[in-house]
Structure 1
Amino acid sequence: MGLLHRFLALFTRPAAMPASAKNSFRKALLEDPSAEAVEMRSVLSELIPQLLAKRYGTKLNELPAYLSIRAQDMAYQSRMVLGLAAALNNIVQNDDYQIRWGLGEVLTALMRTTLSLTEADYLRLFASYGLDFSQPGEVSLHVYPFPVLLTLGQVAKLAKRAPLGEPMLAFLRQLRDRSAGQAGDLLKIHLKTQEMLGQAADGDNALPTVVFADGDPLGQALKQFVAGLDRAAPRTAAWLGLLQQWQKATAGQPTAKLRKELDAATAATGPEAVREQGRAWLQLLADTPVTEQQHVTTYDSGREYHYSSWDFLTEPNLTVAKGLVWTMQPLADAAVLAQLTALVAKCFRKIPGKGPLAAGLGNAGLLALSQNGLPGVAALARVRGKIRQSNTQELIARHIERESAKLGVSPAEIEDMAVPDFGLENGRLVEELGDYTATLTLAHGKAELHWQKTGKPLKSAPGALKATHADELKELKAAQTTAQQTYTAQRDRLDRSFAEGRRIPWPWFEQYYLNHGLMSLLARPLIWRLHQPDGTSHDAVFWEDTWQDAQGQPVPAPTADALLQLWHPVLAPAEEVLAWRALLDGRELRQPLKQAYRELYLLTPPEERTATYSNRMAAHVLKQHQFNSLAKLRGWRYSLLGAYDKGYDTETASLALPAHGLTAEFWVSEVYADGEWNDTGIYNYVSTDQVRFVRADEPVPLPQVPPLAFSEVMRDVDLFVGVASVGNDPQWRDNGGLAQYRNYWESYSFGDLGEVAKNRKLALERLVPRLKIGKVSEIKGNFLVVKGHRHVYKIHLGSGNILMEPNDQYLCIVPDRSAKKLGDPDVFLPFEGDAVLSIILSKALLLMEDDKITDETILRQL
């Protein structure tokens, strides 16, 4: 018998019903001691068929039976509510979900009206919802489809007319305690009961009730804080009221109402007290470990499934933490901004199989930073480089864009304005603390603190200052960390800006670049094209307080109406590029990013023939996760390819070029091989394909792409290949790799050089003769050849992999990539940021004295 016919039979022929359905009907309607059951029988016999026949999108008020109910008076509708709840509670068959849904929808609609029920009626309702705490045993809080929140709202209206009786208050206390530590709708139930109990308390000294889940350090700390409050203190009620508001932070951002309530509660508590205590809780969040928990699920077949989870905060306390962050937003000083920045970076840490650790809390932190003017924008710029999620990168960009619109400047200009100088002058900040002198230095992207006492160097911060100057020490340490992070973030921003071709007015450049405490360390070693109002230009670097050309000759200083643009090799003839390299090498002027030695990518004849795409970077095998990280770091959008049905097996990484109205696309495909995906179904490898430029989704012929944009895009793609290719992994072949790509590994590891490697070769041709290795090393073809005591070694200039003569035996040396181990600290490198160049030099230094090697793994291969 169909569902509709069963329910028609339920109301017309009870004797013919199955035993189970007959019992449900009797319990729902016939055995109910109230008169509601009798009244409902005829109504439900009309309502249920209409509910079952109702199409998606049809509203309740389009059903005649429902309109008939709404036409009755308040008393009738109130009795109908009681009857509906009783019927819903007793319909238990698995195939009755449509009836439960429909009757639940009617009950919810009636609960939004004005009713005339008593406290006893509402207690009956809650009991029919399954919330009967008077009975022993466990009470389930799975209350679907009952409108518990709406029912609590009706009780709250009742409480405004007269104080609630003890039975109802006792029920609310039970419901509050049982729903503590829950999430979603149960959290809302918890908050509502807290609010109602607080309003129902007698006397002027009644305090709000706040209960926190104590399943993590934050919940435990808050619980302890509440327990330690002096109940008689004048601001205790304000504190509890503020903490209660935090549990309402369930949305993506605070509503106007919640924002007003948070500000009012903060004012009542005392902003300074809230800031001080809030900083302690923010620090607790920063210190709370992210712990991995191992789980095993055993199936009936005996097969076991092993997986991991990462614990940080319980879901209810993630909501509370958002409330904390929103509260601290208008109170943020430099210390709070630093804490929020660290918290955001932590929240967007990528967790295997999950994604960001706590995206909601991280977004709350981003919002708080964005609402704090230029210091907040500076923090956004710092944290931006640590976040790999494309949607979050775009969110940060929107925050910066909104802030720039408020100030009437461009996003690039507001990022200029937001960079703090940390009090640096020529890369140094000197602070006197009692008898001690602290010097903060920032050079080549590394910030260091040096201590002296009466001119004598000290190894570390004096212990005596921890008692007398604790705050100053914390500020100096924070400045050291933040200065280094800011330098890195701004260096990367400048490196990504070449393709924009941005021209900066000289007064702006002078203030925010040339004479800025931090940005001057980046701007002065770089070459700039100075555009004059008459259309002429000349290229210059700022050296010893004057602008000088590639021959080291002074050039006229920029005038007030001059514009400055980052110089790029594509803008200059080859002889000028070589002259700049010679000048910088001769002066040992290290550039903070590759500029004079920047790779240049010009259109080739094959690319002219293919017209709309380039295959220059095709047919490589990349480690997908490494490629993904690099792409995000360079501002590209990319979604990981997974071993599941997405409807396609080709994806693109894309880079917006708004200055040119273009989007660059780099096509990749999944490498399908047995087992070559991780636990979440993401492929380990991708193969590369063509590079295209599109405008309005239409391919643009490559000759029409501006050379500067083309060169920078191809450089990015070459970087992806040059770093993420399996050919760069010295252990890939020996660890198994992919058998079908062994030839690729061999050809890439020791084959032709790409543009990055060609520039590396040019740099090494200048460097090697000056170094310790110069006496036993020389550049031959694609290799740096090093004569050791045991063998002659060939280090490939592209991959850094090694062959030993005479039979080209492969030598696997896994480099120590820590900063202290890469290369010789006394070696001048013409630019920062080429890790492979440093690895090649470090391997050469090791192998020239191969008789001193003690590593057993290496010795077994020699």
Structure 2
Amino acid sequence: MSPRTLRSVLSAPLEGHAPESEGDRPAPTLRIVPAEEALAGRLGRTTRRALDLIREQSHDSRPAPDHWERLADSAYAGFARTALEAAAARAAAIQAGDIRYAADKAFTAEEIAVLGRACRVALLRDEPWLPELLERLLPAIAVAPTPARTLPSQALLFELARSAQEFPTPEAAAALRAVRGVVRHAGVPKQLDRALKRIDAALSERPEVAFRLPDLGFGPDGVHRAPFGEYEARITVGDDVMLTWHRQDGRELRGMPAAIRRDRPERLTELRALLKRTRAHLTTLTRALEATLLAEAGQPYGRWRAEQAEHPIGRPLTERLLWEVEVAPGQWRSGLPVEGGRRFIDAAGEPWAVADEDAPIRLWHPARAVPEEIRAWRGHLTERRIRQPFPQVFREIYPLGPAERKTRSYSGRFAGRGVRFRQVYALMKARGWEPAMLGPWDGGHEGVATRVIAGRGWRGRLFLEYADPARQEDLAITGQVRFERRTEDGWRAAVLEEVPPVVFSELMRDVDLFIGAGG
């Protein structure tokens, strides 16, 4: 199907569509669903089969990655852009008043399913046009064109968020964060927060895109300077992203000059948008980095330095985290980066440099370190008053204990604890776990919560039992924690001593958190 034919199918009005009243000015209704069906008839047999399997998916069953890859390598990739552009055009028409606004009626359920598939294909391909389109589409479907606290399509907003959970990019995460800050609906921000936590965790599994940062006009010193006549606005990236105002001679003002607000409102709006966008990208990078604490292999040092350590937005964050480089096979050396990652400082304050541009570098984790090294780094950061963006050097660690070495296949360290299940259920979802539903019904008396981590190579399992509701409503009792390793034949139960120390520590840290929060 040629692009011209596809556009004509998309832009044709629906049969029977007419203005609701003489005063309406309806834009053409875009035929997204028929366009996909027309394209499907032209796909090859194997690709059509992949599309059919993807269409049949449910929330509990995901199609195999190779189905998405087959679809992404076909003519569907061109359709994805056309369909998403059509959605953005319709949303813009609603915002402009060319289509009458009705809450959550901008798209049908069938259209939302098609747009979700289109977005997943574009995200999987990491299309260069997608970030700009999402920056237009997401706000237009998330905020009503009226003062109402509704939105044009809550369902499409969440479907696009689910797409980013499956095939995350930092730009999609940043766009969703920006929308989260402007949506008026009371319940949507919490839903987006949960989705963003899953996206951030999933980014660690796409290292080729996870740490990408945009060029937002910042100088090497991490400052974006915007002239406003006799004044200058400066956005500075440090522990936080700050906006300050200065005279041309460099003197800082206490606040924004009244003349700016009065005479330059459009420029001021653009500046504030840049401020929000910078914060969103920095938050996305922070969360993605924390998720990579479990990484064992690392990334090439030269690439890390170019994409993160020397980037004006990433540098202030990178230099507050502790890294380790494989300086010899199996031998890792830890240090704090300085000078844009060209050198490192060890715990004693001595500088050292990396000789090999291809040497693997990864975030340091205390579970891989000996107690003397942990104490030394904690003292170093305390003395230099370095505030880390997330707990790293002072992170709680959970080493394998004598009782667990004896039981070998399971840990009973946190067994027998009572927790409020509904509260813990929400926390588990937010931490990337898949909890089973427990309750006073047949089959609801026991279940297993699972979390897959470390590049989807390891899985933790927390056993839960629902207490007698006659004695204590909504009370669950924790059981054993077991670990499994992914093999070619599926998941295989693992002996605890086989589990990487970081994997064991992070999952046990989660379980301890659940007990503390739900006890």
Does the pair score TM above 0.5? yes
Query: 1:632 aligned to 398, 415, 429, which one?
Result: 429
Amino acid at match of 1:687: I
Amino acid at match of 2:327: Q
- Cα distance in 1 for partners of 2:498, 2:231 equals 62
Partner residue, 1:420 = 214
- Cα distance in 1 for partners of 2:80, 2:317 equals 42
Deviation, structure 1 residue 463: 5.6
Partner residue, 2:479 = 689
Partner residue, 1:123 = none
Tell me the secondary structure at the aligned position of residue 494 of structure 1. helix
- C-alpha contact (below 8 Å) 2:260/2:268 kept by paired residues: no
Q: Deviations over 1:310-334 (max 9, x none)?
A: x942486677888999999999786
Partner residue, 1:568 = 365
Tell me the secondary structure at the aligned position of residue 24 of structure 2. helix
- Cα distance in 1 for partners of 2:13, 2:93 equals 26
- C-alpha contact (below 8 Å) 2:230/2:247 kept by paired residues: yes
- Cα distance in 1 for partners of 2:289, 2:84 equals 40
Partner residue, 1:256 = 39
- Cα distance in 1 for partners of 2:226, 2:506 equals 42
1:673 maps to 2:481 = no
Partner residue, 1:245 = 30
Aligned ranges for residues 750-769 of structure 1 at < 5 Å? Answer: none
Partner residue, 2:505 = 711
Q: Which of structures 1 and 2 has the bigger CA Rg?
A: 1
Q: Deviations over 1:816-844 (max 9, x none)?
A: xxxxxxxxxxxxxxxxxxxxxxxxxxxxx
Deviation, structure 1 residue 701: 1.6
1:224 maps to 2:24 = yes
Q: Deviations over 1:484-529 (max 9, x none)?
A: 2332232222222222223111111111121122222222111111
- What TM-score, normalized to structure 2? 0.68
- C-alpha contact (below 8 Å) 1:466/1:473 kept by paired residues: no
Q: 1:623 to 1:573 in 2, by over 3 A?
A: same
Structure 2 stretches lacking a partner, 5+ long: 1-9, 42-75, 145-152, 181-189
Aligned ranges for residues 391-406 of structure 1 at < 5 Å? Answer: 393=198
Partner residue, 1:484 = 279
Identity across matched positions, percent: 25
Q: How many residues of Structure 1 are paired with residues of Structure 2 in the alignment?
A: 439
- C-alpha contact (below 8 Å) 2:198/2:430 kept by paired residues: no
- C-alpha contact (below 8 Å) 2:301/2:357 kept by paired residues: yes
1:552 maps to 2:349 = yes
Structure 1 stretches lacking a partner, 5+ long: 1-190, 198-208, 215-219, 227-239, 289-310, 348-356, 402-409, 678-682, 727-862
Amino acid at match of 1:487: L
Tell me the secondary structure at the aligned position of residue 720 of structure 1. helix
Q: Deviations over 1:223-246 (max 9, x none)?
A: 7332xxxxxxxxxxxxx4xx2225
Query: 1:210 aligned to 4, 12, 18, which one?
Result: 18
- Cα distance in 1 for partners of 2:282, 2:493 equals 37
Partner residue, 1:509 = 304
- C-alpha contact (below 8 Å) 1:528/1:541 kept by paired residues: yes
Amino acid at match of 1:667: F
- C-alpha contact (below 8 Å) 2:440/2:469 kept by paired residues: no
Q: 1:465 to 1:250 in 2, by over 3 A?
A: farther
Deviation, structure 1 residue 533: 4.6
Q: 1:690 to 1:464 in 2, by over 3 A?
A: same
Aligned ranges for residues 712-751 of structure 1 at < 5 Å? Answer: 712-722=506-516, 724-726=517-519
Q: Deviations over 1:222-271 (max 9, x none)?
A: x7332xxxxxxxxxxxxx4xx2225x5499x786389999988999xxx9
Tell me the secondary structure at the aligned position of residue 352 of structure 2. coil
- Cα distance in 1 for partners of 2:199, 2:224 equals 35
- Cα distance in 2 for partners of 1:550, 1:530 equals 14
Deviation, structure 1 residue 275: 6.8
Tell me the secondary structure at the aligned position of residue 413 of structure 2. coil
Q: 1:361 to 1:460 in 2, by over 3 A?
A: same
Tell me the secondary structure at the aligned position of residue 613 of structure 1. coil
- Cα distance in 2 for partners of 1:395, 1:461 equals 38
Q: Deviations over 1:448-499 (max 9, x none)?
A: 32233453515347464565450x3333222222322332232222222222
- C-alpha contact (below 8 Å) 1:613/1:693 kept by paired residues: yes
- Cα distance in 2 for partners of 1:522, 1:334 equals 23
- C-alpha contact (below 8 Å) 2:463/2:479 kept by paired residues: yes
Tell me the secondary structure at the aligned position of residue 616 of structure 1. coil
- Cα distance in 1 for partners of 2:479, 2:83 equals 58
Tell me the secondary structure at the aligned position of residue 386 of structure 2. coil
Partner residue, 2:159 = 363
Deviation, structure 1 residue 634: 2.8
- C-alpha contact (below 8 Å) 2:210/2:285 kept by paired residues: no
- C-alpha contact (below 8 Å) 1:514/1:520 kept by paired residues: yes
Q: 1:342 to 1:421 in 2, by over 3 A?
A: same
Tell me the secondary structure at the aligned position of residue 708 of structure 1. helix
CA RMSD, 1 decimal: 4.8
- C-alpha contact (below 8 Å) 1:500/1:657 kept by paired residues: no
Q: 1:335 to 1:475 in 2, by over 3 A?
A: farther
- Cα distance in 2 for partners of 1:465, 1:265 equals 39
Tell me the secondary structure at the aligned position of residue 717 of structure 1. helix
Deviation, structure 1 residue 612: 1.2
The higher-RCO structure (CA 8 Å, 6+ apart) is: 2
Q: Deviations over 1:647-684 (max 9, x none)?
A: 2422222111354832111222334435977xxxxx4x
Partner residue, 1:313 = 104
Aligned ranges for residues 511-660 of structure 1 at < 5 Å? Answer: 511-533=306-328, 535-543=330-338, 546-645=343-442, 647-659=443-455
1:450 maps to 2:244 = yes
- Cα distance in 2 for partners of 1:570, 1:381 equals 31
Deviation, structure 1 residue 550: 0.6
- C-alpha contact (below 8 Å) 2:81/2:118 kept by paired residues: yes
Partner residue, 1:171 = none
Aligned ranges for residues 842-861 of structure 1 at < 5 Å? Answer: none
- Cα distance in 1 for partners of 2:169, 2:400 equals 44
- C-alpha contact (below 8 Å) 1:345/1:387 kept by paired residues: no
Amino acid at match of 1:430: R
Amino acid at match of 1:560: E
Partner residue, 1:439 = 234
- Cα distance in 1 for partners of 2:260, 2:512 equals 52
- Cα distance in 1 for partners of 2:514, 2:501 equals 20
1:662 maps to 2:465 = no
- Cα distance in 2 for partners of 1:509, 1:700 equals 33
